[in-house]
Structure 1
Amino acid sequence: MKSGYFGPNAMFAPWALWQQMAQIAWDSQAVIAMRTAGLMGLVHQDAGEPQRMVQEKADAANEAMTAALRAAARGARADQVVSAALRPYRRRTKANARRLSKSS
């Protein structure tokens, strides 16, 4: 069977999106906890972390919008467009969790 709108990939798309969002949520909670501890002075944190925290939100939103628009322009399915939009957030939350856990 061809992997178009009714193929096996499309059938498991909701599960893949849920998994992607769950991992982002898990890592986001860890990042929030580590940053909060840093802002409270409980762990060492770079002086530029609050600025970085704000700037990365705008950068991630810009990357997500660009990725979603590119996927939609290629004629991707809706789940593929959402997945493309989530990828920049996933990459950033994963990198932040890794970076902040090393510094604490």
Structure 2
Amino acid sequence: MTPMFNPTALLRLQMQMAIMTMEASAVIWMRMMGMAGTWNVAAGENGRMVREKQRAFAKAAQEASVAAMQGRNVGAAALHPLRRKTRSNVVRLARRGPKLR
């Protein structure tokens, strides 16, 4: 059975995508609250959210290409850099917390 059609690998990929979607939703919420002035965000957060996507998607494309050449699961390889970025963002932004004054 190839890695691409392994049911366990597909389920794992689906779960990672679901977690990434929830993390991305939380990041969007915290950044929107930051724009509204109710969440503590760094001064350069708006620029950061644009730049990081370019880097993450370029890294995802690179990882997917390498995985394809090696016969590995392309979806999992592409998702890994994206999930790493959403996870780091949600941790970083949640740590800053809401503005209480």
TM-score (norm 1): 0.87
Counterpart selection for 1:102 from 87, 95, 99: 95
- The one of 2, 5, 8 equivalent to 1:5 is 2
Matched, 1:89 2:82: yes
Aligned equivalents of 1:34 and 1:68: distance in 2? 29
Counterparts of 1:50-65 in structure 2 under 5 Å?
A: 50-65=46-61
SS of the residue corresponding to residue 42 of structure 1 reads coil
Distance in 1 of aligned mates of 2:53 and 2:80: 14
Deviation at 1:47, TM superposition (A): 0.9
Consecutive unaligned residues in structure 1, runs of 5 or more: none
Alignment of 1:4-83 (within 5 A): 4-5=1-2, 10-76=6-72, 80-83=73-76
Aligned equivalents of 1:54, 1:48: Cα separation in 2: 10
Which 4+ stretches in 1 moved above 4 angstroms? Answer: none
Q: For residues 23 and 47 of structure 1, what CA distance do their matches in structure 2 show?
A: 27
- Ranges in structure 2 where 5+ consecutive residues have no aligned partner: none
Q: Percent identity?
A: 39
TM-score, normalised relative to structure 2: 0.89
